Structure 1
Amino acid sequence: MRRHTISVLVNNQPGVLQRVSGLFGRRGFNIESITVGASEEQGLSRMVIVTTGDDRTLEQISKQLYKLVDVIKVVDLSANPMVARELALIKISAVPAQRPEILGIVETFRAAVVDIGPHSLVVQAVGDTDKIDAMAELLKPYGIREFSRTGVTAMTRG
């Protein structure tokens, strides 16, 4: 089982996201992450979907997506060198005495503190999924109160 990152260019119409995600559910394919936003062409949106499966599964997903009327183009980004990023906001319990240790972790991961409260810090981290996971793991002992991440967005390099 490999991890695949798929870019799907679709018409920006109501219900397209529901039809795409429904297709995955009906076929028994899992969506690990999905991001949707405007593309470089007006009237079109780009979905970046991360899923797992073998090459045969990916081929099946691609064929099924092309059967949807609003799907324009499907590209397996993970087949080529790509740039993939994710954004995470992490609220950590942080009494003033612990803050220097937490700030050391934040600096190591080139993240940023975006909010400071009396008993908490909110950290913003941008990077690949492994970087976000590693930083969260190091912050766990301090007490993660809230954790929100965007999901992967990606494009091929060059």
Structure 2
Amino acid sequence: MKSTRFCLACGNAFAPLPHVPRQRYCSSEACQRARRRDWQSNRLRNDSDYRDNQARAQAKWRASHSRYWREYRGAHPAYCERNRSMQRLRNARRGLRPIAKMDVVRVPRSLDSGFYLLSHAKDAGVAKMNAWTVHIAVLSAPTAPPT
């Protein structure tokens, strides 16, 4: 007598295969994809070695395919236009607030020596990954006018 189980992905009843006693997903292609996706998600969450290996493999792929996204965007203009329109919607929704400036000083003050992120002025309202890190050394500071 075969027992009937319910698939964790689609919820349909199925008879487990005799050689897979703990089968929890039916054999449909979509449910098997869900099973593999769930397995990998669980593995990434709980196994630091697996997570590190995946990160190294992804970094290696990105290094050997550095032009992938540039070429993809060139070949898929609709994708680019959708991204631009979605960004315009997000910008409109947030109003005039800058996107990623958590440490903006609202009161004017003199510039201190230190490290700063430098990016093109036309990009000032949007967070950019390609900003330059610069070191600014203040050699003299404004002094109070003589009284």
Q: TM-score, normalised by structure 2?
A: 0.21
Structure with the bigger RCO (C-alpha within 8 Å, sep 6+) is 1
Which has more radius of gyration? 2
Give the structure with the higher percent strand: 1
